[in-house]
Amino acid sequence: MNIAEWLAATAKLRPEAPALLTGFDLDADYGTFARRAAVIGAGLSRDHGISPGDRVALFASNCTPYLECLYGIWWMGAVAIPINAKLHGREAAWICRDAGAKLAFVSDDTIDALTEARGDLPPSMKLLSLDSATYRAMREGEGAPVPLQREVDDLAWLFYTSGTTGRPKGVMLSHGNLVAMSMCYLADVDPATPNDASLYAAPISHGAGLYNFPHVRMGGRHVIPESGGFDPDEVLNLARNLENVVMFGAPTMVRRLVDTARRRGENGEGIRTIIYGGGPMYLADIRDAIAVMGQRFVQIYGQGESPMTITALSREWHMKTGHPRYLERLASVGTAQSVMSVRITDKDGQPLPAGETGEVEAKGTAVMLGYWNNPKANAETLKDGWLRTGDVGRLDEDGFLTLSDRSKDVIISGGTNIYPREVEEALLTHADVREVSAIGVPHPDWGEIVVACVVLEQGAAPDDAKLDAHCLASIARFKRPKRYVYLEALPKNNYGKVLKTELRQMMQT
């Protein structure tokens, strides 16, 4: 099947239902949304020589035409390559060349970056701005009444990883992968209804965009903030008036939203669900979020290679405050989603029993087809259908997964494994600590020592002894940092993940 068939079906059933909004302004109902997608698909084929299976990039900021283009690409059977608009032009150009893109939809705020990197682009690749008269003309008229039929294993979405450890890899997601992910959303994450307003405050090129599918299928509203991105005050204002708002946010976004709600004396009225993932949510932060905003939270754990779909911690488990293991469960990332199996393996790839720590592996219909033109990475990552995530964690006897760290981030000091997250969790409970990242730094005697890179709350003063005493009150002496480094901010990539590689480089200078 073609994932665009969901839009076609909803347009037939609810043609006048509001579909695409910028802020409070309606840009398209479902009938118009589907017609534009069909016409864009026809234009790609007729005017730009795009054939089924060809790759078409989107290097643009969040806007309602972004969703029109995604469905236009799928409508005619091509493959979408969403690229984060915050990337450097040369980084985006490298992705376009690696994927062999024939055309890139851009926006006026990204076109110059890609034009300046034209030498790195595929020679014949075209650029088309979503802000141009040419684009507006392209989406007028009529197109094929139904999307081109595709098979479940046909490529639909080519997602490039953030590349924190080298060149990004192109994750091949099929129409079937996207359907499986969407079914997991409805079964394990949150119900979707025609009354919902899916708010895209995070990049559509990433997880927020992947969650469009269940809301398209159910005929809900898709709302782009007027800012095009994440502004906590804007989110709270929109939610209070739109109601039934559902949004995805990285933990750093949740933290900012909670701080803003507290400052305004609000609790997030109008927000039904905040789905968080994409990085570690510390126990202290989620407890604070619930205290300020109530039970609006669901956690997902996934990777580009199994998008948003490895495990989920439901709203129900966020609410079970009377459970004897409530805090342990709240610190976990939940249980395997409905189309997935999860296991923990040792260094030889052998399954480990409950309670043992090892590498997290996942298997199921949401797992990618493989990496684009990268057989070496495929061989390293996919073993007998199991996805080797590179994450370290443990499963309890009830199937709850608790993550420790990325395998490459584990600190080995004096021959003993130390998981940075344990150190970070301890330090974050100190009132003076705003953010922290623990890393291993080479040491001649210990192999590595723990160094805590700390961002203090405004007005707080550096005090190693105070933080050391705080750590010793909750974690073993050998785990406590041997050194504290105070920073104005932690380096992060475009998805909000802390770049520990950069922190390690900083410690070497």
* Ranges of CATH 3.40.50.12780 domains, the chain: 5-395
CA proximity to 19, closest of 89, 93, 71? 71
The two structure tokens encoding residue 430: 């100190």
Q: How far is CA 70 from CA 41, 56, 115, 309, in A?
A: 10, 9, 22, 21
**By the 8 A CB rule, do 173 and 159 touch?**
yes
Compute CA 132 distance to the chain's CA centroid, rounded to the nearest angstrom. Answer: 29
The two structure tokens encoding residue 400: 């709850």
Summarised one tens digit per residue, pLDDT across range 407-454 is 678 888 876 778 888 899 899 999 999 999 999 998 887 888 999 999
The two structure tokens encoding residue 285: 């932060």
Q: How far apart are CA 196 and CA 30, in angstroms?
A: 14
Low-confidence ranges of the chain (pLDDT < 50): 164-165
DSSP secondary structure string for all residues of 33-76: HHHHHHHHHHHHHHHH---TT-EEEEE--S-HHHHHHHHHHHHT
The DSSP bridge pattern shows strands 55-59 and 79-82 to be: parallel
pLDDT at 159: 95
Q: How far apart are CA 82 and CA 66, in angstroms?
A: 9
pLDDT at 301: 95
Give just the sign of the alpha carbon dihedral 83, 84, 85, 88.
negative
pLDDT at 400: 98
Partners of 391 in the beta sheet?
406
pLDDT at 165: 47
Mutual angle of helices 251-264 and 283-293, in 10-degree steps: 40
* Total residue length of the chain: 509
CATH homologous superfamily, domain 410-508: ANL, C-terminal domain (3.30.300.30)
The two structure tokens encoding residue 460: 């707080």
Contacts of 126 (CB under 8 A, 6+ apart): 48, 102, 103, 104
CATH number for domain 5-395, candidates 3.40.50.720, 3.40.190.10, 3.40.50.12780, 3.30.420.40? 3.40.50.12780
The DSSP bridge pattern shows strands 433-443 and 416-418 to be: unpaired
* Ranges of CATH 3.30.300.30 domains, the chain: 410-508
CA proximity to 2, closest of 213, 200, 149, 208? 149
Q: Where are the beta strands (DSSP E) in 65-181?
A: 79-82, 103-106, 126-129, 155-160, 170-174
Q: Where are the beta strands (DSSP E) in 227-296?
A: 245-249, 271-276
pLDDT at 448: 86
Element (H, E) at 454: strand 447-456
Summarised one tens digit per residue, pLDDT across range 36-46 is 999 999 999 99
Place of tokens 């205290």: 291
